[in-house]
Structure 1
Amino acid sequence: MNDATEETRIVAQRWFDALGSGDFETALATLDDNVEWINYAPVPGYNDDMKWIGTVRGPAAVLGTLQVFTGAVDVKSEKLVNLVVEGEQAAGIIHEVSVVKETGREFDIEFIQWLTVRNGKIVRWKSYTDPSEIIRAIRDDKTAEVAR
């Protein structure tokens, strides 16, 4: 294993451990001052119910999106299932079970966080998943009321 891979593994593991335990302060400390945070692209009428998605830069903006997420969703469990690291790239597979606060509906997803690490900091973060379960949990009560 080369030095870049080892450094990336250490930073990524710190990120995932902190995030999984709800320690946002430690998680944010792993981010570069100019981190590019890409949490899907909002698509009007499809996934824009997920108010925390979009692209932002910098730890303060990332914290803002995390606060919007935790304001809307109660995370019941979030577990790193697998971590693959090569050079400055890391891909973590996460299993998450959460409840949308407004509807009380649960969603159970797996998603990938793709990290780029340079000089001991995460400079790019991108998330990949099928958001259908999340969208269904957000819209569930609204859909049920329309059907009544």
Structure 2
Amino acid sequence: MTTTAIPTTREVAATWFEALTTGDIERALSCLADDVEWINYSPVPGYNDAMAWIGTYRGVAEVLETFRVFSGIVEVNHEELVDLVVDGENAMGVIDERSTVKETGRVFEIEFIQWLKVRDGKIVRWKSYTDPSQILRALPRR
């Protein structure tokens, strides 16, 4: 009988970030637990709710929908993992991203942190942190 080893937190995080930064969404989604808790900022009405992809979601299908919404609004020009810290079931990746809002043509550059919680070889919780002011500046004024 062959036993497949469960990937470590570092292995899952490395796979996640490599897939994410190369645009391999299918591979990235394969790192997520079926019922992943996905927290992409907290919407604040009148402040950052113009970022239509943010909020708290549950499950791979809802995460895929947020990617679809994001990619409909934003074109990622460059995304790079600049630091990765792993401690037990937690991993934190620092991402440098330069993107263009399609409707306005305005570019934004952000550094954001993704905090992953990994159990049984899958990401069970994902939360992002950044200063959204550059994104908001690039979005259309409504």
TM-score, length-normalised on structure 2?
A: 0.94
Residue 56 of structure 1 pairs with residue 66 of structure 2: no
Following the alignment from structure 1 to structure 2, what is the Cα–Cα distance between the partners of residues 25 and 59?
11
The one-letter code matched in structure 2 to 1:115 is: L
Following the alignment from structure 2 to structure 1, what is the Cα–Cα distance between the partners of residues 60 and 23?
16
The one-letter code matched in structure 2 to 1:62 is: V
Unaligned runs of 5+ in 2: 1-5
Following the alignment from structure 1 to structure 2, what is the Cα–Cα distance between the partners of residues 44 and 24?
29
Q: What do you get for the CA RMSD once the two structures are aligned?
A: 1.3
Q: Residue 146 of structure 1 aligns with which residue?
A: none
Kindly report which structure 2 residues correspond to 1:1-148, keeping only aligned pairs within 5 A, or say none.
7-139=8-140, 142=141
Unaligned runs of 5+ in 1: 144-148
- How far off is 1:109 after superposition? 0.5
The one-letter code matched in structure 2 to 1:42 is: P
SS in 1 for 2:8: helix
Following the alignment from structure 1 to structure 2, what is the Cα–Cα distance between the partners of residues 42 and 109?
18
